[in-house]
Structure 1
Amino acid sequence: MRILITNDDGIDALGIKRLTEALLTLEGAELYVVAPVEEKSGVGHGVTYRSALSPEERDFYGLPVKAWAVNGNPADCVKAAYHLLFEDDQKPDIVFSGINVGTNLGRDIYYSGTCSGAREAVILGIPGVALSYDNWEDQDNYGDVVEMIRPLVQSFGEKAMNNELPPEVFWNVNIPHLPLNDVKGILPASLSLNHYEDRYHQEAEGYFLTRTYPDGIPLAEPQDYHLLKHGYIAVTPIHIDATDKGLLKAMDEWPLVKEWGKRG
């Protein structure tokens, strides 16, 4: 099983080391790390085309993997690895992106560089999994995360090898910052699109974006934010085709569409 690993916190981040350690436990896994040379959080799905990319081979914590640092974004790393580092008959079987410092929940998937790494994999026809850990307030502590994700990455790896993962879908995994024995389980989750509000606060340099979160977190719906805060690992399948098929059909009845459609 050929596995490509990337992230948005940079190749020297602790999270990608922990992810690699978990993947090294998989039997027969051949690991490749291709990650940004510096932190690229919040860059979304940005790609580099106005300047050159220069992948640089690196040692990676002394672990038995091949690794490159790339002067670009997470999507660049996956795209460049696919086209530059792998032969046509030796493409990765699956891409794992993370482990991100802090969660990527709800509409975070549009801003997240971690998610873009997994999304770019799917665009290239490879299964992709993004993993994020709820340790934003305790960033040097990854606790039991390796033990938590080991069965998950093994399952995704096996499904990828058996062609059991659907095309055009990447998987967004969010992990609570808890001891292993306190994690309640792994549950499928929908996106929680309204669990925070954006705020700007002023400092000497200008305005900084912050967020406010609700005080109460009822487990009313199986949404990623709510499940995570109640101690579950939340797994969300994200389809990359964002077309509203129902609305697309309804547009046939728009007067403008009816009028101009006849001109064809």
Structure 2
Amino acid sequence: MLRILITNDDGIDALGIKKLAEAALTLEEAEIYVVAPSEEKSGVGHGLTYRSALSPEERDFYGMPVKAWAINGNPADCVKAAYHLLFEENQKPDIVLSGINVGTNLGRDIYYSGTCSGAREAVILGMPGVALSYDNWEDQENYGDVVEMIRPLIQAFCEKAKRDTLPPEVFWNVNIPHLPLKEVKGILPAALSLHHYEDRYHQEAEGYFLTRTYPDGIPLAEPQDYHLLKHGYIAVTPVHIDATDKALLREMEEWPLVKAWGERG
């Protein structure tokens, strides 16, 4: 039996999470659990709820053969609460799938994204996590061929999870182009593109709103997620949750202040 936990940040009623469950249900011997926010929680990052109570509410999920709950919290809350409250110690999920997000989560977005936080929280709790996002921000009701696109990728991750061959401290960030399946060029490993947009604020009557501008030309100069996606590839990025700069850590040992304190001992 393959036990899959699904969450998202667009809310349990979003179309993207329905598509993700459809893809997961095509896998053999898959037992699907959906635990998602009761309302949209985009951009909440890895926020946790601890000053108020969480109240899981069991829900029907589009008539699908899955067990589903809505939670009055964030994506990280959903994964953490599901792990501790809904599963027995010897029946934890084999893998957590988060998404499918409306719009992409590329580069720096992984720090703001509730979708990515669902996958990251899975890894923190010792489970493999995969975040999936779809480049349909300008066409939000259209998920095209996304189920067919992600099915083999999900299957590959799930098979590795069952064999326990996925690295323990990594979540996977997947971005899918909004193209017909026949026009997708392939699946490629991708580095994070950290400088492909610029954030600005503009003033309206109510106050200041955050806006984002993107470059006009998109050369495929480096294997980065934004550039690969815009050139028709599914971009897959392994994101290590240990953000320590190990090389700089060793360099710090030579700092005069550090050495001076060391010599005092």
Shorter-chain TM-score category?
over 0.9
Q: Following TM superposition, by how much is the alpha carbon of 1:262 offset from its aligned partner in structure 2, in angstroms?
A: 3.4
For each residue in 1:77-98, what CA deviation from the matched residue of structure 2 results, as whole angstroms up to 9, or x when unmatched? 0000000000001000000000
What amino acid maps onto 1:93 in structure 2? D
TM-score, scaled to structure 1: 0.99
- Where structure 1 has 5 or more consecutive residues not aligned to the other structure, the ranges are none
Partner of 2:78: 77
Q: How does 1:208-247 map to 2 (within 5 A)?
A: 208-247=209-248
For each residue in 1:151-206, what CA deviation from the matched residue of structure 2 results, as whole angstroms up to 9, or x when unmatched? 00000000000111001100000000000000000000000000000011111111
Q: How does 1:172-251 map to 2 (within 5 A)?
A: 172-251=173-252
- Partners of 1:39 and 1:262 in 2: CA distance: 54
- Partners of 1:263 and 1:44 in 2: CA distance: 42
TM-score, scaled to structure 2: 0.99
For each residue in 1:213-254, what CA deviation from the matched residue of structure 2 results, as whole angstroms up to 9, or x when unmatched? 000000000000000000000000000000000000000000
Runs of 4+ in 1 over 3 A off after TM superposition: none
What amino acid maps onto 2:239 in structure 1? I
- Partners of 2:247 and 2:226 in 1: CA distance: 27
Give 3-state SS (helix, strand or coil) of 1:31's partner: strand
- Partners of 2:101 and 2:264 in 1: CA distance: 51
- Where structure 2 has 5 or more consecutive residues not aligned to the other structure, the ranges are none
- Partners of 1:133 and 1:35 in 2: CA distance: 18
Q: Following TM superposition, by how much is the alpha carbon of 1:41 offset from its aligned partner in structure 2, in angstroms?
A: 0.2
Give 3-state SS (helix, strand or coil) of 1:88's partner: coil
Give 3-state SS (helix, strand or coil) of 2:217's partner: coil
For each residue in 1:118-170, what CA deviation from the matched residue of structure 2 results, as whole angstroms up to 9, or x when unmatched? 00000000000000000000000000000000000000000000111001100
Partner of 1:44: 45
What amino acid maps onto 1:173 in structure 2? V
Partner of 2:164: 163
RMSD, aligned CA? 0.6
Q: Following TM superposition, by how much is the alpha carbon of 1:13 offset from its aligned partner in structure 2, in angstroms?
A: 0.2
